[in-house]
Amino acid sequence: MIKITKIRLISQLYFLAFSAILFYFFIINTLWIVHKVCPFSVICFGTLSIKSSSLIFPLSLLISGLFTLSAIWLGRYFCGFMCFFGTVQEFIYRLFHRNCRQYVKINYIDEKRLGFLKYIILSATIILIGFGLSRVYMTFCPVTALAWIQNITVYGIISLVIIFIMSALIERFWCRFLCPYAALLNIVQLIGAKLRIKRYVINRNLETCIDCNICNKSCPMNINLLEEETVDSVDCIKCFRCSEKCPKKGTLTSKRI
């Protein structure tokens, strides 16, 4: 049986290659805009489409609805398996830290405080949309900067440089602290939990766990896996690295609650 971590790597490489092909077609003017397949584009770019008296991109709406609503049952699997920008950050970190251990240790209290920034960015983006100022967020969006690489702005360059440098120091820096789509997926999960909809989480077997802390050191999202028996943090990207690194196999498993 193929390990879930290998399936995840294959998925990451597939969507990374798929994204690269899309960017290539965009650069040679075969594809009009890469944002047609970005799940967050219906928010950051969709209002511009409305302003121009046309509908929100149908494909974007379909993709966004599928990935966003599926988080209710599956959590942030999109971030761990499919998001090309998350994969790029992960690979950058591995270039400098092959064992994927935390290079810059952030305590769990500060992690939650810094993690709140992505909710502020999401709120600010929605407010800007209300005033028809979608382009303000797009000016700093790293995905937009890459998509419009031929006409990249100074702000786009600064945004990418900062994110890539920080990603070499802190794994998945953008995902953990700044990504508004990550904030949206978290909110959707919380709504699902309030509606008592069951979703898949990580479960820790207290009988076999030896509290070695290896899982915590391996977690790219800096989640405290030893805090509770059921690890239901909405920030979990379902990478299963904790389960792979655990010396007591079978201690950390996926469970539907």
CA distance 123 to 109: 22
DSSP single-letter state for residue 238: -
Structural domain ending residue among the three candidates 147, 163, 192: 192
Instruction: Give the pLDDT score at 149.
Output: 75
Q: Using an 8 Å Cβ cutoff, are 243 and 202 in contact? A: yes
- Domain check: are 33 and 122 in the same one? yes
CA distance 180 to 121: 6
CA distance 129 to 135: 9
Instruction: Give the pLDDT score at 139.
Output: 84
CA distance 23 to 36: 12
What percent helix, strand, coil does the chain show, rounded to 5?
60, 5, 35
Which residue range is the domain that position 234 belongs to?
A: 197-256
Instruction: Give the pLDDT score at 37.
Output: 67
Per-residue pLDDT of 41-95, as tens digits, reads 777 765 555 544 444 466 677 778 889 999 999 999 999 999 999 999 999 999 9
Q: Using an 8 Å Cβ cutoff, are 52 and 148 in contact? A: no
Cα-flanking dihedrals φ and ψ of residue 39, to 5°? -65, -20
Structural domain ending residue among the three candidates 142, 170, 192: 192
Q: At what angle do helices 84-96 and 4-27 cross, to 10 degrees?
A: 110
Per-residue pLDDT of 14-32, as tens digits, reads 999 988 888 787 777 665 6
Total number of domains in the chain: 2
Question: At 181, is the secondary structure helix, strand, or coil?
Answer: helix
pLDDT-flagged residues of the chain (< 70) = 1-2, 29-37, 45-59
- Domain check: are 132 and 217 in the same one? no
Length of the chain: 257
